[in-house]
Structure 1
């Protein structure tokens, strides 16, 4: 997980988005294919948790 955090910081420092949107879409589609609409909701919640891990608040 630390590597992903470092990559995110590097992307932000380079003026790029902090997240890889294509990767996030891949995760969402995978959960959706397996579980339907509930899978989409689960994937979105998991991605949100991952984005905010280690941040205060």
Structure 2
């Protein structure tokens, strides 16, 4: 079964009240936030006057 098909089935079941919504489930279980990784500091500029010391 494809990813979109599963999504449509879950959305239908949620509308019918047969399954709990993902947001409600995560809020109840306390999960979701602990699994997020810290963002990588991408492309940070060095301060003005920064000197590179080689070897």
TM-score with structure 2 setting the length = 0.32
The structure with higher relative contact order (CA 8 Å, sep 6+) is 1
TM-score normalized by structure 1?
Answer: 0.32
| Structure with a larger share of its residues in helix | 1
